[in-house]
Amino acid sequence: MPFTKEKNMRKQWLGMMVVLCGLAGTVSATVVQTNILLGEYELAGCLSDDLVNDGTTTLAQESYAPGWIEEGSPSMLNDGKVCEPDDYWNGDVCSWNADWMTQYTLNTTTNTLGYDIQTIDIIGGQLNGGINRIECTIDYKRVGDTEFSTLGYFSYNPGTGGGTKLSLSDDQGMILSGVSELKFSFGVGYVIREIDVVGTATPEPATLSLLVIGGLLVLRRKR
Ligand SMILES: [Ca+2]
Ligand SMILES: [Ca+2]
C-alpha cells in the first residue's frame, strides 16, 4: 500500500475514533421534568434500592452542609421510606431553616467509569396540604472531575394539595453519564422525604474498543 494511502486510512480511523468518543461522552440532550401532585394525606412512593439509598453498595459516602435542621434528619432523605408507620403525619421528613446541601459520593471502586443516571426523583410534602414545594439545584461530578458542574435548578410549587414529586428524566434516556458525585442544594423551609437516583454502572466502551482494534488489525495486515 502506498504510504500516503495508509496515512489517509489512519487519519480516517482517527477521525472515527474522535467521533465515537464524542458520541460516548454525549449526555443530557434534554432534561425532562415531570411534576406529580397527590391529594392531602397522600405521599408518592419511593425506592429503597436506588443508587444513593442508604445501605446500597453503590453509595460510598454521604455528607451534609452544616445548618439548622428544623425537623428530622438528612439521613431520612435516602432511607427508602417516605413516612414512618407510627407517624404518618410528619415522620420521615427533613426540613430546615437555612440553605442546605446533601451530597452523595458513588462507589467507583468497582464501577470505575461511574454511573449512567436515568432518573432523579425528589419526594416531598406535608400530609395536611401544608408545605409541599420542591426547589433544588443539582450539581454533579463525573469520574476525574475536580469541580462540580450544574445540571440545573428545578422547582415545583403547586400551591395546594398534599404529597409532591419532582421527577427528572431525559428524552434520550440518560440524564448524565460517568457520574461519581451528586449534590442537592435546597433553600429554606422545605419538607423533603426522599431523593431517589436511578442508574446503572457506566459500561466499558466495548463496541468502541472492538471497532478500533478491528481497524488497527486491518491496517497491520495491509502493511
Ligand atoms: Ca431511596
Ligand atoms: Ca425518606
Tell me the CATH architecture of domain 28-203. Answer: Sandwich (2.60)
Question: For residues 10 and 94, which has the higher predicted lDDT (pLDDT)?
Answer: 94
Residue 204: the pLDDT is: 87
Task: Report which of 139, 190, 127, 195 is spatially closest to residue 166, judged by C-alpha positions.
Answer: 195
- The pLDDT tens digits for 72-118 are 888 899 999 998 766 655 678 777 777 788 999 999 999 999 999 99
CB 219 within 8 Å of CB 6: yes
- Distance between Cα 144 and ligand 2 center (Å): 30
* Average pLDDT rounded to a whole number, residues 167-175: 96
Record the cell numbers describing residue 132, joined without a space. Answer: 409541599
DSSP H or E segment with residue 194: strand 191-201
The count of C-alpha atoms lying within 13 angstroms of the C-alpha of 103, restricted to the half-sphere facing its C-beta, is: 12
Task: Report which of 176, 192, 154 is spatially closest to residue 74, judged by C-alpha positions.
Answer: 192
- Distance between Cα 161 and ligand 2 center (Å): 20
* Average pLDDT rounded to a whole number, residues 186-206: 89
Sorted by where each begins, the domain ranges of the chain are 28-203
Instruction: Please say if the pLDDT value at position 134 is more than 60.
Output: yes
Query: Which segment, 27-31, 64-68, 122-126, 152-156, is predicted with the most confidence on average?
Result: 152-156
Residue 130: the pLDDT is: 79
- Distance between Cα 139 and ligand 1 center (Å): 18
Residues with CB under 5 A from ligand 2 (ion): 76, 79, 81, 92, 193-194
- Distance between Cα 210 and ligand 1 center (Å): 37
- Distance between Cα 10 and ligand 2 center (Å): 54
36: number of Cβ within 10 Å:
14
- Distance between Cα 12 and ligand 2 center (Å): 52
